[in-house]
Structure 1
Amino acid sequence: MRSEKDGIPQWDHNEVAKKLNDESIAFVDVREPDEYDRGHIPGVPLLPMGEIPDHIEQMDKDKTHVFICRSGGRSQKVARYANEQGLERAINFDGGMLSWEGETKTGEEKRVQDTTDLYK
């Protein structure tokens, strides 16, 4: 179900699961590396919240970005910040990994070093 909070669209588990393979959408896990390593959505890259400002200018403003964290709080803040920086299609995964019912993968899979890593 889609909703909105503070001007940011909110996606629940079903919406994220349905769109996960949509190449026009960049999914970004903004948790800390140890959280990501304990379990993340397969194929979703890690870009910790604190590193977002270092990459925001290079992020594709024409793409939809869905931000993910543990419960939806940090990713909401990142989505709002991204939106303020010109990423008009920033979306929050409301409920975050606590609400994720799909497959998870452990260990470091895909850490963003360069912004192009978000779009591979």
Structure 2
Amino acid sequence: MDYINYAIFALLLLFMMKRFVPVKGIRNISTAELKNELNDKKKQFIDVRTPGEFKSNHISGFKNVPLHQLTQKSKELAKDKEVFVICQSGMRSQKASKELKKLGFTQITNVKGGVSAWRA
């Protein structure tokens, strides 16, 4: 019975590590650091929130690509340019960053804290 408890604990620990540990190849920056990047025309900026969230409040220069449409709309993004990803709090953008990595993007930057941190 103890072995089962250890196995469950190990699986839970593995799940937590996989969920919260940053993915190799994805850079994480703060919203303060983002301010220095926004004027660079060589970079792409996407907001993965819903169209309603984006319409109510967004950062100038960001394009709305909802998370659920990311795979289809990724064809509109250049793989040779760095992609900055933001959402409301950082969870969806982290998921989107991982998806972009799987799709073959190599220069991906996730904005920690999202639009909430930007407004703060």
**By the TM > 0.5 criterion, same fold?**
yes
Cα deviation code 1:6-64 (max 9, x no counterpart) = 22210101111110010111000110011111110012111111111112244211100
Tell me the distance in 2 between the aligned counterparts of 1:5 and 1:42. 27
**What's the TM-score once normalised by structure 2's chain length?**
0.76
Q: CA deviation at 1:84?
A: 1.4
Larger radius of gyration: 2
Tell me the distance in 2 between the aligned counterparts of 1:36 and 1:67. 13
Q: State yes or no: 1:76 paired with 2:97.
A: no
Tell me the distance in 2 between the aligned counterparts of 1:51 and 1:92. 18
Unaligned runs of 5+ in 2: 1-20
Higher helix share: 2
Structure 1 window deviating more from structure 2 (52-61 vs 66-75): it is 52-61
Tell me the distance in 1 between the aligned counterparts of 2:60 and 2:77. 21
Unaligned runs of 5+ in 1: 103-120
CA RMSD of aligned residues (A): 1.6
